[in-house]
Structure 1
Amino acid sequence: MKTEFLSIPSVIERHDKPLTQLTAPLEKRLQLFEEGSGFLVGDLALSQGQVPYRNINSSPSDLDYQLLAKAGLLIASGAKSGELVLTTGFPSAVYELFKLQAEKFFSVRDVVIEYNSDTLNGGGRSRVQLTISHLEVMSEIAGCINAIRKGPLADDGNFFVVSLGYGTCETALSTAEGPVARTCVSVPGLRHAVNTLYDELSSSYYLSMKNEHMVNQSFQRGDMVIGRKRMNLLGARNSHLANYYNEVLSPAMRKAFTDSDFERASKVYLVGGGALYPELANHFQQEFDGVLEVVVPKGADNFAALGYYLRSALWCGPNHIERAVGLDIGNAYTVISSHAKVPAQEGKKATALEPAFLEA
């Protein structure tokens, strides 16, 4: 049994007219229809839209969250009606507030998704009806911890975990008895560094209609085209990530983690999209040199989705494992985790991991 991950940019843009001649895989050509209006979602919003957006830490009652949720379910189901067992989550700062809203959105009724199925071979609008037979809503940090303990790492000891997300960064010390509440802290995420870079650039250049989500794409690539000239951003990115670490992350960890905590654990896992920046991981290495081993696991950006999927898989059991879905609706990317198809679908950028609990 293996897990498959697929991610889409967490952006939408209204576009009522159905696009035609779309030949890319479904996750690359998402156009959904909601109450008579059309919306481009994910990669299609970035390639075809003008100003794709997503509200930071939006609630399940907001349209952008609902469209991203439906896009994730559509992909997970393979655009086929049926039953799914779903686990999703939120950052700790908004978890209690949004949990009931999420339960209402996913559970009160079947989720009906209308989407553009047009291809070169014909198509048009299609509808999928999905029944969420079981729903669980976890905190993001709990999902990451579940992935570390129940996934391929199978770490049953004490460890620190730092989830470096775009909207928020979450920390915790996890023990066999559970996370230590005092160490569970939420602070601003990577958007802090992206927005300070945006402010710096906008003071010297005209950035046209670029919003923070578009600047974040450039931030990740390390370059941006301004006035038909390509600008290298790697030096600026390194500087703004250093400022973010020194001004936000390091003070938060110094307050949350005590010497007695370091006596209980000797390892810290960096997960989330921010863990993929080597320059950011280096700051952790420098601060914790001699006291903690800093580990960036393979597929670090998928760990919340993996933890969610493993919870769903437990509810499904081996006989209905194909129904299990983990859905991480992040501020930068939405990650869908599901049972890997064999053979893997051609054209998908999927990562397969072997969950340890399924080997037992």
Structure 2
Amino acid sequence: MYTSHSFSSLLQTTNAPLTNTASALLSGLKIRFDQSWYICGSLALSEGSNPIRSINISPEGLEYQVLFRAALLVANNNQAKPMVVTVGFPNNTYRLFKDLAREKLPGSYQIQWDAEVYGGNPVQPASVQVDQIEVLPEIVSCMIALRKGAHKINGSFFIISLGFGTFETGLSTDEGVVENAMESAYGIHYAVNLLREEILQTHSMSFKNVQQLNEAFRDGYLYINRKKIDLVAIRARAIKIYYKEVVLPMLHLVISDQNLKKTDRIFVCGGGAHYSELLDCITKEFGEFCQISIVEQPETLAAQGYLLNSLRFTEGTEREPVGIDMGNIETRVTLLKEL
């Protein structure tokens, strides 16, 4: 039904000529914006000295504008069709940024990129027409994906999104979204920072930001001064503190006696769903009276919902539906799969 492409959300300016340093566009994103060149994604991680990406950025900010153009370039795929693009924001910034996104993101783009990075010849700028921008709360997009996508979930359910930037909750019924159950709090970066603080007590680290440390957090180890440092026990402690201080208080607020009358089903999505330590905490607290299900490919659910939302506006037209999840760790571009 759909295909998803992702690249790291880190970027950095560069003046260096890069030739044959990547194998394809997705791993060799070098974009020109506002008189400067930027390397994004895998290229920023491999060739950059200090790639950056602020948490929950504004759509008018430079970082968002560069990464959005990179996502459009990936989505374009040499097609001339105008696009309907859906993006989203966490609930705590949705009202702040939705009108900015609708104002700043539609229009005609001439995207200049460097194909020589992956062995290509110099190319003309890509012409991309974004006809329409739709904006959703991230958790609502996850609900759409569960109901309208391959899962085909009916009835009422809670949904928990364990993202890097934010932890989101929601309650969906056949009648609609229950607003008082939509909450946002600190995401997994809270636990990553706890791990960083503990490591710094005994080691000097060269990591410049939490996104770069997130890979070590996920893998459970890192190398410092050519010595492998096991992070599993530190990560487990950090996750338990994060759960106790951030996740549990919000879940108690949302999974209330009143809301449990509507449903006892909980779906878990987001990249944090891959951490068994966090899932064990949730299951221990709520598993006796709730049915807890982990969504397949949990980190892609929001992007699927964005695509399905765009599809509503393109059926019967020549326009292309696109879903772009501008995540704090990964930017995901979701398209309809060609049959």
Alpha-carbon contact 2:19-2:119 (below 8 Å) kept: no
Matched AA of 2:212: M
Deviation at 1:35, TM superposition (A): 1.9
SS in 2 for 1:136: strand
Deviation at 1:260, TM superposition (A): 2.0
> 2:170 matched to which residue of 1?
172
> 1:58 matched to which residue of 2?
57
Gaps of 5+ in 1: 343-360
Alpha-carbon contact 2:112-2:124 (below 8 Å) kept: yes
Question: Out of 320, 323, 329, which is 2:326 matched to?
Answer: 329
1:160-184 deviation digits (Å, cap 9, x = unpaired): 0011111111101111121211111
Alpha-carbon contact 1:18-1:116 (below 8 Å) kept: no
CA-atom RMSD, angstroms? Answer: 1.6
1:10-30 deviation digits (Å, cap 9, x = unpaired): 100111233111341211010
Alpha-carbon contact 2:28-2:118 (below 8 Å) kept: no
Moved more, 293-302 or 200-209: 200-209
Please list, as runs of the form range in 1=range in 2, the aligned pairs for 1:298-313 lying within 5 A after superposition. 298-313=296-311
- Pair 1:84–1:204, CA change in 2 (3 A): same
Correspondence 1:276 to 2:257: no
Q: TM-score, normalised by structure 1?
A: 0.90
Deviation at 1:216, TM superposition (A): 0.7
> 2:135 matched to which residue of 1?
137
1:86-113 deviation digits (Å, cap 9, x = unpaired): 1111001011111111112212x31221
Moved more, 277-286 or 141-150: 277-286
> 2:30 matched to which residue of 1?
31
* Count, aligned residues: 339
Q: TM-score, normalised by structure 2?
A: 0.96
- Pair 1:259–1:72, CA change in 2 (3 A): same
1:194-240 deviation digits (Å, cap 9, x = unpaired): 01111111121110243211101111111111111111212211221
- Pair 1:80–1:33, CA change in 2 (3 A): farther
Alpha-carbon contact 1:84-1:131 (below 8 Å) kept: yes
> 1:242 matched to which residue of 2?
240
> 2:71 matched to which residue of 1?
72
1:235-258 deviation digits (Å, cap 9, x = unpaired): 211221111111100011112321
Q: Distance in 2 between matches of 1:249 and 1:120?
A: 42
Matched AA of 2:278: L
Identity of aligned residues (%): 32
Q: Distance in 2 between matches of 1:104 and 1:42?
A: 26
Alpha-carbon contact 2:23-2:119 (below 8 Å) kept: no
Moved more, 27-36 or 333-342: 333-342
Q: Distance in 1 between matches of 2:295 and 2:69?
A: 29
> 2:219 matched to which residue of 1?
221
Correspondence 1:114 to 2:87: no
Q: Distance in 2 between matches of 1:134 and 1:36?
A: 26
Alpha-carbon contact 1:17-1:38 (below 8 Å) kept: no
Matched AA of 2:29: L
Q: Distance in 2 between matches of 1:239 and 1:190?
A: 13
SS in 2 for 1:210: coil
> 1:40 matched to which residue of 2?
39
Moved more, 39-48 or 229-238: 229-238
Alpha-carbon contact 2:266-2:293 (below 8 Å) kept: yes
Gaps of 5+ in 2: none
Moved more, 122-131 or 231-240: 122-131
Alpha-carbon contact 1:117-1:126 (below 8 Å) kept: no
> 2:3 matched to which residue of 1?
4
Matched AA of 1:295: S
Question: Out of 180, 183, 191, which is 1:182 matched to?
Answer: 180
Correspondence 1:256 to 2:254: yes
Q: Distance in 1 between matches of 2:170 and 2:302?
A: 14
- Pair 1:35–1:223, CA change in 2 (3 A): same
Alpha-carbon contact 1:80-1:128 (below 8 Å) kept: no
Alpha-carbon contact 2:25-2:118 (below 8 Å) kept: no
- Pair 1:320–1:277, CA change in 2 (3 A): farther
Matched AA of 1:299: Q
Deviation at 1:120, TM superposition (A): 6.5
> 2:205 matched to which residue of 1?
207
- Pair 1:265–1:210, CA change in 2 (3 A): same
Q: Distance in 2 between matches of 1:121 and 1:97?
A: 42
Alpha-carbon contact 2:24-2:118 (below 8 Å) kept: no
Q: Distance in 2 between matches of 1:122 and 1:335?
A: 24
Alpha-carbon contact 1:81-1:128 (below 8 Å) kept: no
Q: Distance in 1 between matches of 2:78 and 2:227?
A: 41
Q: Distance in 2 between matches of 1:133 and 1:34?
A: 21
Matched AA of 2:273: A
